[in-house]
Chain A
């Protein structure tokens, strides 16, 4: 419950934030804090320095381009996404953000924090993969864009390297999306989740079944269950679900998400 000693800095610009992160191996970016602070309470990880991104207005906000592309600042909160008129261009975003945990968490938790922490039970990594999101990473070497499919590397590990920051997530236009989950209680932690997107073919990204979202594709929602089986999932077992149960849920939820996506307009 009690953190180890830590230094704290609140940069006023992205450039300053990058400098701080690059200068100290033990520096960590602090976004919403809804995960990181708990990790620090448990002393499971104890950064030397927290670089607070909450002063960086340039990382907030949602822009809707003429072609329907959404550009979401990494520090945009779940509440802001759920309430955003612009984000309604891709309704699944707000719909999923609105079911994360509770109001207090949604008021502070950010889309950037959610994808960068990449806890296998998080809602947004599968959603980013399914919707074909692109992640903008900024570092000393400049700016680069990484497709969601290549962004998630392992448990708690993403393509954001030391001294770098995720600044923006770009999501293409689309309305044929679905999301299905079995959670520990309503709006609780996901036991298995599935995000689907239909654009001709069906893309389904499964969460909670591996270190990173598992993407399966199929011709139609009816073919999704077989595609999940063919993926040969070997999900983890824990106190909430056995591997076999998770694998079973993955198939069911993938198909439901796909049907939802196909039916959405």
Chain B
């Protein structure tokens, strides 16, 4: 381990850095978090609140034949219960995005008639204390008739496979065939066809340290729920909950301040939130729900597990890739909570970073008796990009070519940007070859063979691998119509409000739900640059609250978009405010046009006459409390709300062609592993990560995301897996068996950054944060390099590496 474990290489400023954008401003969020004064959902308390505990299924697949809560309810201090039968009477099944047969499944917030995965909530018990709720839950009697469990998606469509949802008539949840270019011509032109029978991307997720939770209050007088919760996509939760609960969306107020990590895994808690809502109404008291670590592992937001079968790659002898066809088989788990959107979201990055034009993906999604899948950092693109990176390395190996050369030969080139992919997505900007060069320099590529020899002298196998990946950000939700043409979603949006308060205080509200990405800080930087003030003068409200009316249908923090959508909204609102300030000042100064005014020093003044100065305090006071005598046609409020809307069209649904995401950040990672050949044990001894997310508003925050994503990739590649036995029992239901990286597990890290501004966004920024998949790709490649064996699984614990070495010797 070197003395200093991190080095950073960043671009020299291409322009004089003035203003706040581009500065690593210390975070506004930090002070409260450092003092233990953050407000996370479990910190919120209400007098008389009842603590909720879920009775969960012990079976992977079973009929429910009897539920009896009477013994539990008889316990003093137990406030009440909720069963599946009640839920089925009080609510409608959740909206399904899929087409038939997937559309036919009936998803309620508690199991109705059947359980379909171990850990599925069956009954909810509410009591005076946490412990009592837990105790009482053991008195709930549930009788089950176990059924065979289906845990291998490859068997899901066998004739004798257990069927999870009779309403769907089988386990097929969604299917789509994607085909672009001319596959026949490509394969005819190929010098050879590389066949890869099976590649497997494993099931894991990002295990945010804080699990889900809620405190729900019901206001009986107005029929409205206040839902304190750490759900990171309240727009989606509301759309799912409202119709199910048969209430208007304004009856669901979402409130949150600090969230302890999300990574996509806090998007689909709406079933549990519905239970809390129903109970708060039934019992007429606030309901508190804490999801325990084991509950989270058993039931929440596993990442998509995906096989790529019968892959054929058309290549030229010089390593030029012409195209590929593959069958993607996706394991959705027991319910479609955000799926089957995963069936199209990968198409944002169809060709990966490469220039091949002839591509076919036959995509099937099935249900299995495992936890429901929903977005996990890198959602669906990560799986597909891992696939393209494996193809590159396996092709390179088969042709005896250098993986660096094959990448450079096939990367989309900087001079081709903006680049239209075979399915009509537009890669906005980027220079992948330059990123690769920088990463290789950071890792000391020139001395790798020396290091390999030195490691060999110590009896170790050294391997180096490249992982390149894209982080597509700002979704065009019209892509959902490729899943189901009837869906009425398209485009995207985010909202912000910026106002001058009565004493001139600058107050910003966001529509987002940050979980550590520093939105308060970067938003303040953008505002301060436009209003020409200090970031310290900009007060950004912490968290999210529906009552701020600062949200729209797609509000939330997910899918690598804040720097585009959130900051786009902030920019729009602030520019509107700046315009209104000048209008007001112009009127107050007796009719001075806006061009002659400038914002500076906490106010507005006439450029040529600095003594004519109106501080923000005066502006705020005039509009709010002292407005007699203003011109009748002066239409200013100094309270500006802006809805940012990215420029999208509805794609051609039939051809599955069109732009699906606005920005494409890129990541280029290189990993060096040392393997102990006698045991298969290995460690990362060096690592480089290069990131390009366009203009960086706060470089330190960006780098933090790169680091965190890298650490998660290392964990996923080496240790983290949600593995099930044949009965559907999860073998890794807690942090004891599901090993995430700790401080001693991290390699030395060199980071580099390149800025290729996006031509499509208000600030030249690109969303980022989900690029960690590059680490998985790089580690797979490094293991392949060290062992000489093609790596075909994303998960490579010590035993797998040892196995590969055995095979290499055989």
A185 in contact (CB, < 8 A)? yes
Q: Mark A2-46, 1 if CB is under 8 A from B, else 0.
A: 111100000000000000000000000000000000100010000
> Who on chain A is nearest to B53 by CB?
A2
Q: Which of A61-92 contact B (CB under 8 A)?
A: none
B441 in contact (CB, < 8 A)? no
Q: Which of B578-600 contact A (CB under 8 A)?
A: none
Distance in angstroms from B302 CB to nearest chain A CB is 15
Chain B residues in 8 Å Cβ range of A182: 679, 681, 798
A186 close to B744 (CB less than 8 A): yes
Q: Which of B710-755 contact A (CB under 8 A)?
A: 719, 721, 723, 731-732, 736-737, 739, 741-742, 744-745
Q: Which of B427-447 contact A (CB under 8 A)?
A: none
B547 in contact (CB, < 8 A)? no
Distance in angstroms from A134 CB to nearest chain B CB is 31
A185 close to B719 (CB less than 8 A): yes
> Who on chain A is nearest to B683 by CB?
A186
Binds A, one of B7-15, B129-137, B148-156, B642-650: B129-137
A184 close to B719 (CB less than 8 A): yes
Distance in angstroms from B434 CB to nearest chain A CB is 35
B678 in contact (CB, < 8 A)? yes
Q: Mark A177-190, 1 if CB is under 8 A from B, else 0.
A: 00000101111110
B59 in contact (CB, < 8 A)? no
Knowing that A185-B739, A241-B799 touch, tell me 9 more A-B residue pairs with CB under 8 angstroms: A1-B293, A2-B130, A2-B134, A5-B135, A38-B736, A184-B719, A186-B745, A188-B739, A239-B731
- Which of A5, A186, A189, A239 has the most C-beta atoms of chain B within 10 angstroms of its own C-beta? A239
A240 in contact (CB, < 8 A)? yes
Chain B residues in 8 Å Cβ range of A249: 679
Known: A189-B736, A238-B731. A2 touches B131 (CB 8 A): yes
Chain A residues in 8 Å Cβ range of B134: 1-2
Complexed CA–CA distance, A237 and B736 (Å): 17
Complexed CA–CA distance, A191 and B798 (Å): 10
B292 in contact (CB, < 8 A)? yes
From B131, B745, B798, B799, give the contact of A3 (CB < 8 A). Answer: B131
Q: Please classify the interface of chain B as helix (H, G, I), strand (E, B), loop, or mixed, using the class held by over half of its residues.
A: loop
A sample of 21 inter-chain contacts (CB < 8 A) reads A2-B130, A2-B131, A3-B131, A4-B135, A5-B131, A42-B294, A184-B719, A185-B739, A185-B741, A185-B742, A187-B744, A188-B739, A189-B739, A238-B731, A239-B731, A239-B737, A240-B737, A240-B797, A240-B799, A252-B678, A252-B679
A245 close to B292 (CB less than 8 A): no
A245 close to B739 (CB less than 8 A): no
A242 in contact (CB, < 8 A)? yes
Q: Please classify the interface of chain A as helix (H, G, I), strand (E, B), loop, or mixed, using the class held by over half of its residues.
A: loop
Chain A residues in 8 Å Cβ range of B731: 238-239
Distance in angstroms from A243 CB to nearest chain B CB is 11
Chain A residues in 8 Å Cβ range of B680: 245
> Who on chain B is nearest to A42 by CB?
B294
Q: Which of A227-262 contact B (CB under 8 A)?
A: 238-242, 245, 248-249, 252-253
B94 in contact (CB, < 8 A)? no
> Who on chain A is nearest to B133 by CB?
A2
Chain B residues in 8 Å Cβ range of A186: 742, 744-745
How many residues from A make CB contacts under 8 Å with B?
A: 26
B802 in contact (CB, < 8 A)? yes
B799 close to A239 (CB less than 8 A): no
> Who on chain A is nearest to B715 by CB?
A185
Distance in angstroms from B3 CB to nearest chain A CB is 18
Chain B residues in 8 Å Cβ range of A42: 294
B745 close to A185 (CB less than 8 A): yes
A239 close to B292 (CB less than 8 A): no
A239 close to B802 (CB less than 8 A): no
Distance in angstroms from B317 CB to nearest chain A CB is 40
Distance in angstroms from B253 CB to nearest chain A CB is 29
Chain A residues in 8 Å Cβ range of B744: 185-187
A245 close to B802 (CB less than 8 A): yes
Known: A245-B802, A248-B802, A252-B678. A239 touches B741 (CB 8 A): no
Complexed CA–CA distance, A4 and B799 (Å): 38
A1 close to B799 (CB less than 8 A): no
Complexed CA–CA distance, A42 and B739 (Å): 18
Chain B residues in 8 Å Cβ range of A184: 719, 739
Chain B residues in 8 Å Cβ range of A5: 131, 135
Distance in angstroms from A100 CB to nearest chain B CB is 13
Chain B residues in 8 Å Cβ range of A102: 742
> Who on chain B is nearest to A187 by CB?
B744
Chain B residues in 8 Å Cβ range of A187: 742, 744
Distance in angstroms from B747 CB to nearest chain A CB is 11
- Which of B130, B678, B721, B799 has the most C-beta atoms of chain A within 10 angstroms of its own C-beta? B799
Q: Which of B113-131 contact A (CB under 8 A)?
A: 130-131
Complexed CA–CA distance, A185 and B746 (Å): 10
B732 close to A239 (CB less than 8 A): yes
Chain A residues in 8 Å Cβ range of B293: 1
Chain A residues in 8 Å Cβ range of B741: 185
Distance in angstroms from A256 CB to nearest chain B CB is 8
Distance in angstroms from A263 CB to nearest chain B CB is 16
Distance in angstroms from A46 CB to nearest chain B CB is 11
- Which of B741, B744, B745, B798 has the most C-beta atoms of chain A within 10 angstroms of its own C-beta? B798
Complexed CA–CA distance, A3 and B526 (Å): 49
Q: Mark A135-177, 1 if CB is under 8 A from B, else 0.
A: 0000000000000000000000000000000000000000000
Complexed CA–CA distance, A4 and B681 (Å): 40
Complexed CA–CA distance, A252 and B677 (Å): 11
Distance in angstroms from B140 CB to nearest chain A CB is 15
Distance in angstroms from B664 CB to nearest chain A CB is 34
> Who on chain B is nearest to A256 by CB?
B678
Complexed CA–CA distance, A38 and B130 (Å): 17
Q: Mark B787-801, 1 if CB is under 8 A from A, else 0.
A: 000000000011100
Complexed CA–CA distance, A246 and B185 (Å): 50
A242 close to B719 (CB less than 8 A): no
- Closest 3 pairs between A and B when the two form their complex, measured CB to CB: A186-B744, A239-B731, A2-B134
Distance in angstroms from A123 CB to nearest chain B CB is 15
A1 close to B292 (CB less than 8 A): yes
Chain A residues in 8 Å Cβ range of B736: 38, 189
Complexed CA–CA distance, A210 and B221 (Å): 64
> Who on chain A is nearest to B292 by CB?
A1
A239 close to B723 (CB less than 8 A): yes
Complexed CA–CA distance, A252 and B741 (Å): 25
> Who on chain A is nearest to B290 by CB?
A1
Distance in angstroms from A117 CB to nearest chain B CB is 14
Complexed CA–CA distance, A183 and B404 (Å): 34
> Who on chain B is nearest to A2 by CB?
B134
- Which of A4, A184, A187, A189 has the most C-beta atoms of chain B within 10 angstroms of its own C-beta? A184
Chain A residues in 8 Å Cβ range of B719: 184-185
A242 close to B135 (CB less than 8 A): no
Chain A residues in 8 Å Cβ range of B732: 239
Distance in angstroms from A109 CB to nearest chain B CB is 15
Chain B residues in 8 Å Cβ range of A240: 737, 797, 799
Chain A residues in 8 Å Cβ range of B681: 182
Q: Which of B762-810 contact A (CB under 8 A)?
A: 797-799, 802
Chain B residues in 8 Å Cβ range of A1: 134, 292-294
Distance in angstroms from A209 CB to nearest chain B CB is 15
Complexed CA–CA distance, A3 and B719 (Å): 29
Complexed CA–CA distance, A239 and B739 (Å): 11
> Who on chain A is nearest to B732 by CB?
A239
Distance in angstroms from A145 CB to nearest chain B CB is 34
Q: Which of B286-311 contact A (CB under 8 A)?
A: 292-294
B742 close to A242 (CB less than 8 A): no
Complexed CA–CA distance, A139 and B802 (Å): 48
Complexed CA–CA distance, A166 and B127 (Å): 40
Chain A residues in 8 Å Cβ range of B723: 239
> Who on chain B is nearest to A252 by CB?
B678
A245 close to B799 (CB less than 8 A): yes
Complexed CA–CA distance, A142 and B797 (Å): 49
Distance in angstroms from B173 CB to nearest chain A CB is 27
Distance in angstroms from B597 CB to nearest chain A CB is 60
